[in-house]
Amino acid sequence: MTVLVDRDTRVVVQGITGHQGTVHTRQMKLFGTQVVAGVTPGKAGNEVEGVPVFDSVRDAVERTLANAACIFVPAPFAKDALIEAVDAGIRLATVVTEHIPFHDMLVMYHYAKAKGTRIIGPNCPGIASPGKSKVGIIPNVVFRPGRVGVISRSGTLTYEIVNGITEHGLGESTCIGLGGDPVVGTSFVDALPLFEADPETDLLVLVGEIGGTAEEDGAEYIRHHFTKPVVAYIAGRSAPPGKRMGHAGAIITRGRGTAESKLAALEAAGAKVARFPYEIPDLVAAALAEKGRR
């Protein structure tokens, strides 16, 4: 069992003939992902990195049995791309695209949820399970198969922290980059039950940042429902008071969304909180050792 992706995940890349789509199709294949199809209207019959290109997602699904999508299309067309994937029967869609209009994402979120499709993103690096599959753009070299789960709002911090865990001699079960926009398809609260249920995950690393209430909401879920050890890190502790910065979702209101409120909530939920990213591997190792002694 894994979280959302495994060796049976069959990916269709929407926007495969663009530069980013081509580059990351190659990297997903090198990771071991079954990239079975690409979609660019008007380019049917071509191949990209050995992957057949179709004019529509429906054609791709019917011909290749694709069951997951990775969306690289430009922001003005992302809503239509997601709806097309959902209507074709795709049940996991990673939306890498950034700068998607707020109201477009509201439509995408509710349409996908009503149809039973899970969105990861937008404006995210995607999801990866080492030794199994990757749908997105997280660098291949930072991973090593293991039993540490990672969920994060920050792309580059995800890479740094996963790399630190790997260099420490540990490894990852599944890593999900949620994205930092105000509306995302999968939140901490959505992801936490998946890792709780995953027998291949012994510990979870939660990486947050200032703005929004996603981390406070996640901490509340951890307090009442999550039984595995949690190590957490919140970026933005040195941000000037009242300063608006970072992702589109980095908005602080009424005392919530600050680094202090997030840190307090996570500590109250029993998480071990790192002050700096480089502390995370040691905290993970210590928490795993403590868990093993129980």
- pLDDT of 259 reads 84
Q: Establish if 195 belongs to a structural domain.
A: yes
Same domain, 77 and 154: no
Among the candidates 120, 149, 181, a domain finishes at: 120
Is 99 marked active-site?
no
Q: Provide the mean pLDDT of the chain.
A: 93
Quote the CA–CA distance of 54 and 61 in Å, as a whole number.
10
Tens-place pLDDT, residues 172-213 = 999 999 998 989 999 999 999 999 999 999 999 999 998 888
Span 20-26, mean pLDDT?
98
Torsion 230-217-222-149 (CA) sign:
negative
Q: Establish if 127 belongs to a structural domain.
A: no
- pLDDT of 291 reads 78
> Is residue 137 pLDDT above 90, yes or no?
yes
Are 182 and 248 in contact by the 8 Å Cβ rule? The answer is yes
Same domain, 16 and 149: no
- Look up the domain containing 272 and give its range: 138-293
Nearest to 18 by CA among 65, 92, 81, 67: 81
Same domain, 171 and 239: yes
For the CA atoms of 283, 285, 291, 293, what is the dihedral angle to 10 degrees? Answer: -120
Same domain, 142 and 112: no
Q: Establish if 4 belongs to a structural domain.
A: no
| pLDDT cut 70: percent of the chain above it | 93
> Which pair of structure tokens corresponds to residue 262?
């997030």
- pLDDT of 212 reads 86
Nearest to 74 by CA among 23, 127, 19: 19
Same domain, 142 and 111: no
Same domain, 176 and 82: no
Tens-place pLDDT, residues 90-113 = 999 999 999 999 999 999 999 999
Same domain, 171 and 282: yes
- pLDDT of 257 reads 73
- pLDDT of 244 reads 54
Three state DSSP letters for the chain? CCCCCCCCCEEEEECCCCHHHHHHHHHHHHHCCEEEEEECCCCCCCEECCEEEECCHHHHHHHHCCCEEEECCCHHHHHHHHHHHHHCCCCEEEECCCCCCHHHHHHHHHHHHHHCCEEECCCCCEEEECCCEEEECCCHHHCCEEEEEEEECCHHHHHHHHHHHHHCCCCEEEEEECCCCCCCCCCHHHHHHHHHHCCCCCEEEEEEECCCCHHHHHHHHHHHHCCCCEEEEEECCCCCCCCCCCCCCCCCECCECCHHHHHHHHHHCCCEEECCHHHHHHHHHHHHHHHHHC
Same domain, 198 and 264: yes
CATH number for position 64: 3.40.50.720
Same domain, 152 and 213: yes
- pLDDT of 290 reads 86
Among the candidates 93, 120, 147, a domain finishes at: 120
Span 70-76, mean pLDDT?
97
- pLDDT of 282 reads 97
Reply yes or no: is the peptide bond before residue 281 cis, omega within 30 of 0: no
Same domain, 100 and 198: no
Tens-place pLDDT, residues 152-163 = 998 899 999 999
> Is residue 71 pLDDT above 80, yes or no?
yes
Quote the CA–CA distance of 265 and 218 in Å, as a whole number.
9
Q: Establish if 112 belongs to a structural domain.
A: yes
Tens-place pLDDT, residues 27-68 = 999 999 999 999 999 999 999 999 999 999 999 999 999 999
Tokens 């000037």 -> residue: 240
Number of compact structural domains in the chain:
2
Same domain, 151 and 264: yes
- pLDDT of 132 reads 97
Tens-place pLDDT, residues 219-272 = 999 999 999 999 999 997 766 665 555 554 555 455 567 889 999 999 999 999
> Which pair of structure tokens corresponds to residue 73?
């299309």
